[in-house]
Structure 1
Amino acid sequence: MLKVLTFSTLFPSSVRPSHGIFVETRLRELLKSGRVESRVVAPVPWFPSTNPRWGEYAKFAATPAREQRNGIDVLHPRYLLAPKVGMTSAPLTLALGAKAAVQKLIDEGFDFDLIDAHYYYPDGVAAALLAQWFDKPLTITARGTDLNLIPQYPLPRRMIEWAARRAAGSIGVCAALMDVLRGWGHDPARLHTLRNGVDLERFRPLPQGPMRAELGIDGDPLLLSVGHLIERKGHHVAIEALAALARQRPGARLVIIGEGEERAALTALAARLGVADKVRLTGSLPNTELLKWYSAADVLLLCSSREGWANVLLESMACGTPVVATDIWGTPEVVAAPQAGRLVAERTGAAFALGIESLLGAGVDRAATRSYAEGFSWQATTEGQLDLFHAIQREAAHA
C-alpha cells in the first residue's frame, strides 16, 4: 500500500468546508482505488481570536488542530503569516509550522513514501523544504495563479524554480501550466498534465423549472456567474454582458454566487448600467447547493482573466448547462466542443453578449452538454497519479 502525505493550505475544514474542496475531491477519488493510504497536513495561519467580528481570520483560530473529514485524517498546524512581508516569508514559516505535525505522523507509524503538495507557491516551496528535511520524494500540483500570476514577482519565481527542480514530478491541472515550467527549461519527463474531473453524482441535471421555483428566480435567459468576488473572476464583465444582452432580451437575468471585496463595486456597476433589478448576488453558498443553481440556469459565464482548470465549468456542464468563457489558459481544454459552450477571445461585456447569443441561437441541448461532461470522470486522473507515484517510489527505492 502506497503511503502519501497530502500537503496544502488549500484543504477544507469543519470551519471552512468549501475551502480547497477540489484538492479533497481529487484525494478522495484517489483513495477509492484502494491502493493508497493518505494523511493530510493542511496548515492554517495563526490568529489569536475566534471572535466573529474578525471574519475569515476568526475562522483560522477556530479550525481544529486535528479532525476527520470523510474518513481522512487531517492535521491543521499553525504557521505565522506576517503582514506585508508574508508573501516572501510564507514558504519558510509554512514549512516550519508544519514540521512538527509531519514528525508526529511519522512517530505514530505513518512513515509515508512521498509528499503530494498542491499549489506551487507558497505550499509547493514549503513542501520542498519538508521533503528535503525528511528525505522524501515530492510531487507538486500547479492549479492556476501559482504559475500564471505569482511568477511575475522575482523572488517567488526563484523559489518556485528551486522547488520544481527538487520535485520528482510536477503536475498541472491543464497543459498550459506545464508549458510554463517547460518554457523555463525544466525536464519535460518530470512534467505531467492530470486534469481535474467532475463528481458526476453530486453534479447532475435537476428539472430546470422546479429548481427556478424553489430558488425564487427566473430569467429568459437566466445567466449564472460563480466565484470569489474579485476582479480576476470578471463578474463585472458578466454584468456588462447582461446590460448589452438586455437590450434585445429584456427578460435576461444574472445571478452571481460568491463573496469578496468587489461586492459593493458590482452592486454599484449594476445600478449604473440600469440592470440592478436584473442582478442577484447570493453571497457564498455551500458547494452542495450549487447543482440547484447550475440546473436552474441557461448559461454559465466565466469571465476570468486567468484560470488553470476552472471546476465550475465542468460542474455546470454536468448539470446540463453550457458555458460561455474567456479563451485563456486551460479553459480551451475544458470547452472543446460546441455542446460544451462558447469561448470568447475578448474579455468585454459586448463580446460575452455575442457569445451568449451565438450559444442560444444555435439551441441548447442540455442532454448533450451532460453527455460531454461525462467524458471528464476522475478515473484517468486517478490512474495517472497511481502510475506517477509508483514510478517515483521505485526510483526512490533504487536510489
Structure 2
Amino acid sequence: PVWGAPVFARWLGAPLVTCLRGNDFDTAIFTPRKREMLEAALRQATKVVTVSSEKAWKVEQLYPEVATRFIANGIDLADWQPTPSEQSFAENWRAEHTQGRLVLGLVGQLKAKKGLSFLLESLQHHELAEKLHLLLIGELAEDVSTALEATACSYTHLPFLDRFELLKYYPCCDGICIPSFYDGMPNVLLEAGGLGIPILASDVDGMHDVLHVIAPQLLFAPGDAHGLRKALFDWSQADENTRAAWGLMIKNHIATHYTHEQELDQYQELFAGL
C-alpha cells in the first residue's frame, strides 16, 4: 500500500493522506531500502497523520514542507469493562500465582526492540526483581526468553490473546510496563489505563502524550536503566491506595481526552477539509 498509494493518488487526481500509526517511521527512516518508499508517501501527502505528537515533530523537522496532524487513538470505555466473572478470575489468578508479589504486566510484542530485554537486564541482580511477578502476554522472542531466565523474577507467560480475552488478565496486574525505545500509541496504553491500572512507560511518543502531565513519576527516559528502576521503586513502594489513585487519574484522563468519539470526529473533520 505504501508503494502504491502515491502512484494511484497521482493517477486518480485524489488527495493522499498518509497515516503513521506505529513505529514504522522510526525504523524506515534509517533503512535505505525503505526510506525512499517512506519519503514518497510523506512528500506527496496532502496530510500526514500521526498518533503521537513526537512523531509529528520528527516528520516536521525532516520534511518541513509536509503538513502534519496529530490525531490520538481513542477507546470506547463503555464497551471496555471486565465482567464480574472476569474480575473473579483475576482475583483467583492472583491468589494462585503471586505469593505476595506485585504483578507487572507486559502485553504485546515481547521483543528486545520493544525494550523487554532492557527491562530484564535492568532488573538483574537488583532487589526489585524478587518483589515482582511478571505477567507476559504475547509472542516471546528467543533472546528475550534467555534474558528472562537470567533474572530472579517469577513470571507467567501466555501466548497472544484477543483484545477482549485480555479483560480477565489486565485486572491481575498492579501495573503495566511499556519500556519501548520508540512506539506509536500502543493499544495496551489505553486499554490498561482505561481500566485504572498504573502504567510505567518510556517517555516517548504516545506514552508521553498520555502520561507526562498526570503521572510523570511513572515515566523514564528510553534506555535509562536508573530511571526505569526509580519508577519501578516508586511504584512498588507506594501503598495500594496511592497506586489506585494513580490509576484513577490515568483512567479519568483517558476518558476525557482519548475517546473513540474524539478520534472519529477529528478524522471526519480532516477528510471533510481535503
TM-score interval (norm. to shorter) = 0.7 to 0.9
The alignment status of 1:170 with 2:86, answered yes or no, reads no
Distance (Å, rounded) in 2 between the aligned partners of 1:140 and 1:289:
31
- Equivalences for 1:1-399 in 2 at 5 Å? 123-187=1-65, 190-204=67-81, 210-214=89-93, 216-218=96-98, 220-243=101-124, 247=127, 250-260=130-140, 262=141, 264-275=142-153, 278-339=154-215, 342-347=218-223, 350-362=226-238, 363-364=242-243, 365=245, 366-375=247-256, 376-392=258-274
Q: Which amino acid aligns with 2:105?
A: L
Gaps spanning 5+ residues in structure 2: where?
none
Q: Which amino acid aligns with 2:115?
A: G
Q: Which amino acid aligns with 1:213?
A: N
With a CA cutoff of 8 Å and minimum separation of 6, indicate the structure with the bigger relative contact order.
2
TM-score by length of 2: 0.84
Equivalent residue of 2:152, what SS?
A: coil
Q: Which amino acid aligns with 1:320?
A: G
Q: Which amino acid aligns with 2:39?
A: E
Distance (Å, rounded) in 2 between the aligned partners of 1:332 and 1:156:
27
- Greater radius of gyration (CA): 1
Please report how far the alpha carbon of residue 327 of structure 1 lies from its aligned counterpart in structure 2 after TM superposition.
1.6
Distance (Å, rounded) in 2 between the aligned partners of 1:253 and 1:209:
19
Q: Which amino acid aligns with 1:134?
A: L
Gaps spanning 5+ residues in structure 1: where?
1-122, 393-399
- Residues 240 and 199 of structure 1: CA distance in aligned 2, closer, same or farther (over 3 Å): farther
Please report how far the alpha carbon of residue 274 of structure 1 lies from its aligned counterpart in structure 2 after TM superposition.
3.5
Equivalent residue of 1:201, what SS?
A: helix
TM-score by length of 1: 0.60
Please report how far the alpha carbon of residue 206 of structure 1 lies from its aligned counterpart in structure 2 after TM superposition.
6.3
Residue number in structure 2 paired with 1:119: none
- Residues 139 and 248 of structure 1: CA distance in aligned 2, closer, same or farther (over 3 Å): closer
Please report how far the alpha carbon of residue 378 of structure 1 lies from its aligned counterpart in structure 2 after TM superposition.
1.9
- Residues 299 and 240 of structure 1: CA distance in aligned 2, closer, same or farther (over 3 Å): farther
Percent same amino acid at aligned positions? 23
Conserved? CA contact 1:148–1:306, under 8 Å: yes
More helix by share: 2
Equivalent residue of 1:255, what SS?
A: strand
Distance (Å, rounded) in 2 between the aligned partners of 1:309 and 1:367:
20
**In the comparison of the two structures, how many residue pairs are matched?**
264
Distance (Å, rounded) in 2 between the aligned partners of 1:292 and 1:139:
37
Please report how far the alpha carbon of residue 270 of structure 1 lies from its aligned counterpart in structure 2 after TM superposition.
2.7
Distance (Å, rounded) in 2 between the aligned partners of 1:335 and 1:368:
10
- Residues 389 and 254 of structure 1: CA distance in aligned 2, closer, same or farther (over 3 Å): same
- Coordinate RMSD, CA, aligned: 2.6
Equivalent residue of 1:222, what SS?
A: strand
